[in-house]
């Protein structure tokens, strides 16, 4: 799909689903859009930032709720982004409906709000027995327009119907549990309409988009992709090149092959540690350092398993990030040093899209990361490059590299990981020129 079409579709979805949030944050978003436009990113960044702003709004409006309760007005029973006029109308109705007729229900429902009140009776002045967050699952036994009867901890309670859904809402627990950026992150999945998305075979997992805070925001999204960590990925094959042509270099997949492992499990360090554990450690350190420096971060993986193959990861980065850094350790045992996988100097490969339009950007990013690593004293292999025809490179439409920050024999202590994080973050700054 062309970028313009994508933007239009994104706009339509927003109109349908998040118009209320949208209006609330128009002022800020407008400002950010202007910044994005100035940096040449236009609608792409605008959409991303709007998503994050909307999520911030959900987390940030609890204070007012308590004030409303204390003044004796109807409680909104939620945090949500309902416009004030509409909210007071709804609450007036809730207050009137003190003994509602309930339709019998027997279904699972989910809370789609933050700090949603669980009350002992279907009245907004009834005692609050508990407060639930988004994603909490309940059994609903009765329904009216304003109140639902639910079973919570084996007892009957009442919750405002408008904040319950029958489909599971996107949870924010992944982001919240990581500690540093509560309320500024949101899960993102692969949109099947995105270009090349249909070439992915494993894509039910979610990445998490983190938004930097503070006055030093850069307006750039860095995709941090902890290599490997997709259970079952090595038994699935995907096409090496979007156009079906064979691989031009040999690596873990031989030259001439047209399909490759969708995502491999990675190597094991000489001390027995799986590569995927260490790439994740480096990714988490890098994420924190980039956020601190004002970059937004698209984290592909935050646990031992995310169901996203190499193509899914690449397409997510293509559509949501300004560059893509996949972190790996090589399978040699010589502690040979860091390098990135550069684009092979093979005419057919460099003339194949999207490689043709982007390979020089990939090299610019790779060279910047290597310079950053060198600057903090990380050992380098040769000139910091090794040419390789990779699935990631073959599908990337943003600056994108696989960087091998060491090998099986490399030190992967916390200190070493921290040093790599500093070097890579320096490299990102060099790449964006700030």
Q: Which residues bind Zn ion (CB under 5 A)?
A: 227, 266, 328
**Angle between helix 414-432 and helix 275-292 axes, rounded to 10 deg:** 50
Smallest distance from the beta carbon of 63 to Zn ion, in angstroms?
46
Q: Shortest Cβ contact with Zn ion: which residue? A: 328
Instruction: For residues 347 and 431, give the distance between their C-alpha atoms in angstroms, rounded to a whole number.
Output: 26
Q: Which is nearer to Zn ion, 189 or 274 (CB)?
A: 274
Phi, psi of 116 (to 5 degrees): -80, 130
Q: Which is nearer to Zn ion, 303 or 351 (CB)?
A: 303
Q: Which two tokens stand for residue 1?
A: 């799909």
Smallest distance from the beta carbon of 279 to Zn ion, in angstroms?
7
Phi, psi of 404 (to 5 degrees): -95, 105
Instruction: For residues 424 and 430, give the distance between their C-alpha atoms in angstroms, rounded to a whole number.
Output: 10
Task: Specify whether the CB–CB gap between 216 and 294 falls below 8 A.
Answer: yes
Return the SS3 of 284.
helix
Phi, psi of 243 (to 5 degrees): -90, 5
Smallest distance from the beta carbon of 392 to Zn ion, in angstroms?
11
Smallest distance from the beta carbon of 180 to Zn ion, in angstroms?
26
Q: Which is nearer to Zn ion, 229 or 423 (CB)?
A: 229
Tell me the helices (H) and strands (E) count for the chain, helix number first: 13, 17
Smallest distance from the beta carbon of 328 to Zn ion, in angstroms?
3
Q: Which is nearer to Zn ion, 266 or 384 (CB)?
A: 266
Task: Please list the alpha-helical segments (H only) found in 251-354.
Answer: 275-292, 310-320, 347-350
Q: Which is nearer to Zn ion, 48 or 328 (CB)?
A: 328
Smallest distance from the beta carbon of 324 to Zn ion, in angstroms?
15
Q: Which is nearer to Zn ion, 134 or 408 (CB)?
A: 408
Return the SS3 of 156.
strand
């Amino acid at each position: 799909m062309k970028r313009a079409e994508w933007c239009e579709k994104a706009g339509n979805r927003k109109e349908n689903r998040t118009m209320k949030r949208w209006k609330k944050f128009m002022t800020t978003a407008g400002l950010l859009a202007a910044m994005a436009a100035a940096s040449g990113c236009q609608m792409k960044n605008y959409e991303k930032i709007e998503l994050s702003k909307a999520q911030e709004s959900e987390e940030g409006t609890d204070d007012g709720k308590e004030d409303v309760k204390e003044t004796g007005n109807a409680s909104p029973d939620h945090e949500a982004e309902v416009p004030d006029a509409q909210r007071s109308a709804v609450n007036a109705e809730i207050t009137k409906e003190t003994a509602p007729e309930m339709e019998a229900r027997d279904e699972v429902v989910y809370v789609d709000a933050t700090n949603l009140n669980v009350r002992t009776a279907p009245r907004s002045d009834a005692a609050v027995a508990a407060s639930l967050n988004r994603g909490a699952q309940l059994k609903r036994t009765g329904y009216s327009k304003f109140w639902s009867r639910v079973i919570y901890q084996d007892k009957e309670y009442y919750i405002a119907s408008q904040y319950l859904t029958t489909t599971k809402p996107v949870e924010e627990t992944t982001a919240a549990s990581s500690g540093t950026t509560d309320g500024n992150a949101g899960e993102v999945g692969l949109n099947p309409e995105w270009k090349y998305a249909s070439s992915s075979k494993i894509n039910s997992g979610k990445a998490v988009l983190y938004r930097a805070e503070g006055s030093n925001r850069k307006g750039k999204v860095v995709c941090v992709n902890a290599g490997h960590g997709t259970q079952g990925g090595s038994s699935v094959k995907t096409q090496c090149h979007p156009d079906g042509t064979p691989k031009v270099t040999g690596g873990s997949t031989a030259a001439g092959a047209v399909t490759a492992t969708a995502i491999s499990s990675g190597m094991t360090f000489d001390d027995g540690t799986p590569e995927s554990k260490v790439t994740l450690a480096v990714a988490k350190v890098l994420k924190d350092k980039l956020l601190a420096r004002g970059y937004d971060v698209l984290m592909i993986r935050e646990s031992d398993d995310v169901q996203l193959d190499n193509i899914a990861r690449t397409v997510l980065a293509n559509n949501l990030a300004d560059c893509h850094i996949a972190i790996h350790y090589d399978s040699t045992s010589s502690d040979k040093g860091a390098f990135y996988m550069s684009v092979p100097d093979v005419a057919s490969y460099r003339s194949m899209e999207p490689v043709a339009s982007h390979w020089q950007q990939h090299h610019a990013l790779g060279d910047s990361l290597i310079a950053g690593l060198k600057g903090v004293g990380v050992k380098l292999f040769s000139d910091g490059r090794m040419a390789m025809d990779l699935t990631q490179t073959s599908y990337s439409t943003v600056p994108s590299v696989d960087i091998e920050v060491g090998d099986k024999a490399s030190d992967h202590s916390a200190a070493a990981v921290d040093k790599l994080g500093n070097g890579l973050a320096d490299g990102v700054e060099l790449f964006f020129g700030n």
